[in-house]
Structures are given as C-alpha cells and as structure tokens.
C-alpha cells in the first residue's frame, strides 16, 4: 500500500505578524510541491488568533507574495479568527473529558512563581499548587467564571509517558511528557484559542494529511500529538515533516532580517520582486535551500521541481543562505528570456525614468548587453548611456585617460568617423589603420573615445557602441566631451 493512499492535503499556515520571510516561502513551496506531486490539495490557513501580534496588511502581503511566486492555493483561505465558535466546542469537550482544566492564575502570580522557583513549569508537578479548577472547589470555580474573572484553559498532560513523533525528515523523535508544560489552549480574555489548539483542530477539520513546517515547531509536535489523542483523532493524525532552519550565510545561527540589512540582500519575498528578481528564479533558489534532487541539476522549473521533490531528501541540518546563488539563478532565468521580453521590461523601466527610446534600439541594446547582466534593472546601470548622453565624466577615468593631445586626436577621429560607414565591422579596421598611420597610440585614442561616449571606462566593445549610437550621436558626444574637458591653452 502506498504511503500516500489517502489523498494528500497539506496547508501553509502563516501568522499575519509581518512580511513573508524567504524561509516562510520555502515552507509554502515545499507544501505546494508535495501536494502537486501527489495530485493532492494545497491550502492556505491564516493563523491570526494571537491578536497581540497581528500586523495590519500582513495577510495581504502573504497573498501577494505567494501569488507572485506562483504558489496558488486550491481553495479559498481559511481564517482562524472567524472560527472562534468551533474552537470553543473542542475546549468544552476537553474540559468535560478532564483532558484540560481552567486556570485563574494571573500574569503577576505566574511571574512571581517563576521568580520564586527557577525553571518553573506549569505541569503535573506544580499544578496542584496553583489556582485552578483542580485545586478549587467546583462552586468556587463556577463563581469565579460567573463573576467575570479572566481564566485560561490548560491542557492536562500526564507525566512520564513517551510520545514518539515519526518525522519524515528527522525520523523518530521521542519525548518524555514530563518535559512538557500544561500549555494554555484557550483564553477567556479574548475568547480566542492559542496557536496549539487552533492548529490541531483545524488540521483535523481540514483533513490535513501531512504537516510540513519549520523546525521551530518540532518542540510543539508532541503536544499536538497528545491533543490528537485527547480528542480521539489519532486515527487520522497527520504525518509530520519539520524542515531545517535557514541559516546565516556564515552558517552560525538562524537567518534574520538583520543579516539582510548587514549583508545587503533581501529577506522578505516581495523585496526580491523589488530588486528585479524573476519569480521562477526565486522559486528555484528557495527550493534548493535544504533540499537537492540527488544529482547535479540546479536550474529546475516549477514542473520539474514538482516531479522531483522528495521530503526524504530534505536535509536535517540547517541550510546556509547563499545570496550569490540567488543572483546566479536570476541570471540563468534572465538569459533564457527572449530578447523581446527583456526589451519590453527594459522599455518599461526607461519609460518610468522619463526616457523615450525606440523599441528597435532597445532590442539591439538588449541583444548586446544581455550576457552581462543579472537583473533587468542592471540594464539601466550598464546600458543607460545608450539612451542618455553623459552629463558628467568619471573623475578617475578622466585623470587616467585625458591627456594633453586627446582633444586634438578626438576631433580628428570624429572627422574620420564622419566619412565611413560606422555600422559595418570594417569601421574598426579603418579607424585603427588611421590611428596607426598617424602614429598615435591605439589604446590612448580608444580609451578617450570610450570616455566621451560612455562617460566612464566601462561598457561593451567600443565599435558596437559606435554602431548602435550612430554617426551623428557619436560625433556629438565627442564634441560635448571636448568642450567639457579640454582646458583652453593660454597661447
Ligand atoms: N502559524 C504557524 C507559523 O506561523 C504555523 C506552524 C504550523 O505550520 O503548524 O509558522
């Protein structure tokens, strides 16, 4: 019998507490790939029961980021805050079956306990010393509830039992229940369940077969398993797979927003879009953070990832974040775009900057520059000079390339260019011959010419630039440069 006999149903369950992190995108992607591979269903659940951590706009950000990446849920998203009634029902059931109890301890009382007892844990060893429905008389508990005393409902964990989590990535993880605390499942203050209860109830009601999530939730898995048992749902309990952490590029510790700021790379999904990444490149890069296909394949489309993805090949140790690799992936995808698509993207950027350019010229520039770029935006930096004549000349290059005879030589070159067809490969030969005949240095003249046309010392092959700019523009740029840089002699 196949392991996935039951139709696969997985979910991505982010809390709307901020922008979607690249690690969150990986969790979503792996769930999506797994669902698609098994002909299953991929769901999105917004876990927004912690009202204190809710961030306005975070939910929209998650939707937009997933949409951009092409990770599309198969059903409308489920929002936990709209399901308060449902959780209440299960809280009642747990209380009735003595799998949970009501606790009245205030935050101050708990704090005092923690101060007084090092490593204090609300559990089987301490609960009988606290203010809860197990220590109070039934009428007192009732009276406190009726008079509006805030309370929580805590799970009642039996100590000294072994819970075994069979994790698809980590194998067997055994935990002694004595190490677990009686976690709060529900709070009367806002009538909301906590993450643990809502998560388990929803996974059950949504028919989730596999819980694929970050390693930070592994310590909660035994508690979740106990809840499945307490609610008599063990027969349909999902299988767990906890993904290893994304680590700092140096490998020491969890990747954080600050690492991005410190090292200059984006950590949130839509910042990748902002930087000019193609979503396919981000998907490909993210897929390989902690998983590999078992061979040396790197560039893989979503379809190929769906076919190849395998949870058992996910690494148990953390995945180092390699930003250079992200750029590399973008370059691979960019190179595979058609010239026309790149030209359109570049035209849009130019338009935004108020630069009017002919599509034909943009196409020719793209063809020439494509190999040199990692991002469409790089075209502005690398090829902007094709559309805007230099407004200034790079100081360092001027110092190095502008010599006493340069203006004379450039003026002469301008007239040579005027008399030849600059669009043929012969132009280069003719110009070089002329320079040699005059006894000038080819390097000197060419470098000065580049400075005049580009404004600095970079750019593609000089005669490609001249051919693209055309004779008129080339000559004009030479003249402007001479006017700007030649120092009038006093004689
Ligand atoms: N809301 C949790 C999170 O933000 C979900 C964890 C899970 O998938 O169970 O990551």
| Average of per-residue pLDDT across 125-139 | 97
Per the annotation, the verdict on 438 as an active-site residue is no
pLDDT band (50, 70, 90) for residue 106: very high
For the cut 90, the answer to whether the pLDDT of residue 5 exceeds it is no
For the cut 80, the answer to whether the pLDDT of residue 488 exceeds it is no
Ligand 1, atom 3: closest residue by C-alpha: 14
For 477, what's the count of Cα atoms within 13 Å in the CB-facing half-sphere? Answer: 27
Ligand 1, atom 2: closest residue by C-alpha: 14
For the cut 80, the answer to whether the pLDDT of residue 47 exceeds it is yes
For the cut 90, the answer to whether the pLDDT of residue 22 exceeds it is yes
Atom of ligand 1 nearest to the CA of 195: 1
Q: What is the pLDDT of residue 489?
A: 45
Ligand 1, atom 10: closest residue by C-alpha: 14
| Average of per-residue pLDDT across 331-335 | 96
Asked if residue 384 has its Cβ within 6 Å of ligand 1, the reply is no
Q: Are 277 and 68 in contact (CB under 8 A)?
A: no
Atom of ligand 1 nearest to the CA of 12: 8
Atom of ligand 1 nearest to the CA of 47: 1
| Average of per-residue pLDDT across 106-122 | 95
Phi, psi of 287 (to 5 degrees): -60, -35
Phi, psi of 349 (to 5 degrees): -65, -45
Atom of ligand 1 nearest to the CA of 217: 6
For the cut 80, the answer to whether the pLDDT of residue 487 exceeds it is no
| Average of per-residue pLDDT across 454-480 | 96
Q: What is the pLDDT of residue 25?
A: 98
Q: What is the pLDDT of residue 6?
A: 80
For the cut 60, the answer to whether the pLDDT of residue 491 exceeds it is no
Q: Which of 7, 72, 158, 257 is catalytic?
A: 257
Q: Are 80 and 48 in contact (CB under 8 A)?
A: yes
Residues in CB range of 93: below 8 A, 6 or more apart? 231
Annotated domain spans of the chain: 82-195, 257-336, 338-383, 389-491
Atom of ligand 1 nearest to the CA of 11: 8
| Average of per-residue pLDDT across 292-303 | 97
Mutate to test the pocket of ligand 1, among 12, 55, 197, 213 (most ligand atoms within 8 A of CB): 213
Asked if residue 240 has its Cβ within 6 Å of ligand 1, the reply is no
Mutate to test the pocket of ligand 1, among 12, 15, 239 (most ligand atoms within 8 A of CB): 15
Ligand 1 center to 13 CA (angstroms): 5
- Right CATH number for 82-195 from 1.10.10.10, 3.40.50.150, 3.90.800.10, 2.40.37.10? 3.90.800.10
Ligand 1 center to 233 CA (angstroms): 20
| Average of per-residue pLDDT across 409-434 | 95
Asked if residue 213 has its Cβ within 6 Å of ligand 1, the reply is yes
- As a CATH number, domain 257-336 is 1.10.1160.10
- As a CATH number, domain 389-491 is 1.10.10.350
Mean pLDDT of the chain: 95
CATH architecture of 338-383: Orthogonal Bundle (1.10)
Mutate to test the pocket of ligand 1, among 34, 192, 214, 225 (most ligand atoms within 8 A of CB): 214
């Amino acid at each position: 019998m196949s392991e996935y006999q039951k139709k696969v149903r997985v979910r991505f369950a982010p809390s709307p507490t901020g922008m979607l992190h690249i690690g969150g995108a990986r969790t979503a992607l792996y769930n999506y790939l797994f669902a698609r591979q098994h002909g299953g269903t991929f769901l999105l659940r917004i876990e927004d029961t912690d009202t204190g951590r809710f961030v306005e706009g975070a939910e929209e950000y998650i939707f937009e980021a997933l949409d951009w990446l092409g990770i599309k849920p198969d059903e409308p998203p489920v929002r936990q805050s709209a399901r308060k009634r449902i959780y209440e029902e299960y809280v009642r059931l747990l209380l009735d079956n003595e799998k949970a109890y009501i606790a009245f301890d205030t935050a101050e009382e708990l704090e005092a306990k923690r101060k007084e007892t090092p490593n204090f844990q609300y559990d089987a060893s301490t609960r009988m010393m606290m203010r809860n429905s197990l220590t109070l008389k039934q009428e007192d508990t009732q009276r406190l509830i009726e008079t509006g005393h805030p309370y929580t409902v805590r799970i009642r964990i039996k100590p000294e039992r072994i819970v075994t989590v069979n994790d698809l990535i980590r194998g067997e993880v055994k935990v002694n229940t004595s190490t677990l605390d009686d976690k709060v499942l529900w709070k009367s203050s806002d009538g909301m369940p906590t993450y643990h209860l809502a998560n388990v109830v929803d996974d059950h009601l949504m028919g989730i077969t596999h819980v694929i999530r970050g390693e930070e939730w592994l310590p909660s898995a035994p508690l979740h398993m106990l809840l499945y048992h307490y609610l008599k749902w063990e027969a349909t309990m999902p299988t767990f797979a906890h993904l290893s952490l994304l680590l700092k590029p140096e490998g020491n510790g969890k990747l954080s927003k600050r690492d991005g700021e410190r090292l200059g790379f984006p950590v949130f999904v839509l910042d990748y879009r902002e930087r000019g990444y193609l979503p396919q490149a981000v998907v490909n890069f993210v897929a390989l953070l902690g998983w590999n296909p078992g061979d040396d394949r790197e560039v893989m489309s979503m379809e190929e990832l769906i076919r190849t993805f395998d949870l058992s090949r996910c690494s148990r140790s953390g995945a180092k974040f390699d930003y250079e690799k992200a750029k590399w992936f973008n370059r691979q995808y960019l190179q595979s775009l058609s010239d026309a698509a790149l030209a359109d993207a570049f035209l849009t950027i130019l338009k935004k900057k108020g630069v009017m350019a002919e599509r034909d010229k943009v196409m020719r520039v793209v063809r020439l520059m494509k190999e040199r770029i990692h991002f469409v935006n790089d075209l502005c930096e690398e090829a902007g000079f094709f559309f805007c004549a230099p407004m200034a000349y790079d100081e360092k290059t001027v110092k190095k390339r502008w010599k006493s005879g340069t203006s004379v030589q450039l003026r002469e070159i301008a007239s040579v260019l005027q008399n030849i067809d600059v669009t043929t490969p012969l132009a280069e030969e003719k110009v070089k011959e002329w320079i040699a005949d005059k006894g000038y240095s080819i390097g000197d003249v060419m470098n000065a010419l580049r400075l005049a046309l580009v404004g600095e010392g970079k750019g593609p092959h000089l005669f490609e630039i001249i051919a693209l700019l055309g004779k008129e523009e080339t000559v004009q740029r030479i003249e402007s440069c001479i006017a700007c840089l030649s120092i009038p002699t006093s004689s």
